[in-house]
Structures are given as structure tokens and as C-alpha cells.
Amino acid sequence: MSRALSSFWISLSSILFSELGDKTFFISAVLSMSNPAVLVFSGSIIALISMTLLACVVGVIIPSMFTPKYTHYISSFLLVVIGIINIYDGIFTSGDTTNKGFQQVEMELRNEDELGNVKDTDTNNDIELYKNKVFCEDRSNYRFLDILSKSKLFKYKINRIFLKAFWLTTIAEWGDRSQITTITLSASNDPFIISLGSILGHIICTGLACYSGKYLSNIPPMIISISGGILFIYFGLHGIYSGL
């Protein structure tokens, strides 16, 4: 029982420190400023849950390639590496006391709306402007959005907002540090417990982003990065020590 609670706490706290101030957090916060928060939250959280479950599946597959002992040590080592990267980012790339991530995402989305005249043109413009933006540089993303633009899903604004939040969050989360962390934790712990903790962490972070993101964006990113880094290193070293 104690191991299950420990796994749950590790996954929950890891997601909280990974997602606060992350690009997916800012996407939800910015979209909620000009759209119904409940729609943005729904689209974002479904995307995050889907990516979390995918990460857990990958984490379950990995142990079949190595022995349980090696899997445990590799997972613990990766947590230490992620922690070191977090601290490095906090010291050398987030030294400014203001959080520029929020302003950057806000500017990107505002430029998209201005470029496509989203509010004054037909529904397909929502898709057309994403085809030419950095979010969708991959050709597979382009084809996916091309199909959506011709479907009836974007007939109503409510669908546009939901799918906009869903797709932007999915692209931003793909290969993100929090997803790698979930894969790592699932490889050496109960994936069901890890998925529960991770999903709860995403729900908390996305809820905060949608309803309080503007205020939370004022928290210095250096504090979040360094605190999260210390936490990751602790979990990693504890895992290595417990495996000895």
C-alpha cells in the first residue's frame, strides 16, 4: 500500500512541477482569456489524458526489453537527468524574473487570429492559419487539419474552440518533458497508479491555467524549474538507493 501511495505522489508532484509554466499550461491560459474556459479545459484535458495513457503504454512495453533491475535503474537515472536539466533551465534560461512564456504564447495565438481574421471570416480560416504556423510544421499535422477543415466538426464555434484546444495541446505535449517523465515512471512502477497520479496532476494544472493562468504566469519560472529539478533528483536518487 505504501508503495502505491508513493508512486501516486511521485507521479502527481512530477506533473505539477513539469506542467506549471509549461507551454501547454500557457496555451490553456491564453485560450481561456477569449473563449469559454470550460470548452478550453475540456479540449486540453482530453488531449493530456490521451497523451498520458499513451505514455503509460510505452512505459509498460519498455520493461520487456530489459530486466526489471535494469529498468528500475535506468528509470531512476533518467529522473536525475531530467532534474539536472530543469535546474539548468532555471538558472541559465529562466533567469529573468518575469515569465516570458505566457507573453510568447499569447503573442503567437493573437497573431494567428489577426492573420486569419478568425472572428470575422468563415470557419475554415481557423484551420488554414494553423497550416502555416509553427504548431503544424509536420506534414502529417497538415493533412490532419486539411481533413478537419472539410468536415462538419468546425461548423459551430463550440467545436472550433474545443478542437483548437485539443489539437494545440496535443502537439505541444508530444515529446514533452512531462510525457517522458510519465513513461519513465510507468516503466518501474504500477502504470495504473502512475496514470491516476499523472491525470490528476494534469487536471489540477489545466484547471489552474484555465481559471487562474493570468495570475500564475507572474510566478518566476526560475523558482518552478529549480524546485521541480530538486524534486526529480530526489526521486531519482531515492530510486537508485532503494534498488541497491
Percent of the chain with pLDDT over 90: 21
Q: From its phi and psi, is residue 176 left (phi > 0), alpha (psi between -120 and 50) or beta?
A: beta
Per-residue model confidence as pLDDT tens digits over 25-53: 888 888 888 888 898 999 999 999 999 99
Confidence of residue 58 (pLDDT cuts 50, 70, 90): very high
Closest CA to 48 of 70, 83, 18, 69: 18
For 232, phi then psi, to 5°, come to: -60, -45
Q: What is the pLDDT of residues 96-130, one digit of tens each?
A: 544 566 666 667 666 655 544 444 444 444 444 44
Could you report the per-residue pLDDT of 173-208, keeping only the tens digit for each?
A: 888 888 888 999 998 889 999 999 999 999 999 999
CA atoms of 183 and 189, how far apart (whole Å) = 10
Q: Give 63 or 8, the one with higher predicted confidence.
A: 8
Number of H helices, E strands in the chain: 11, 0
pTM summary value: 0.73
- Residues 6+ away with beta carbon under 8 Å from 230: 83, 87
Contact (CB, 8 A) for 17 and 83: no
Name the percent of the chain lying above pLDDT 70.
70
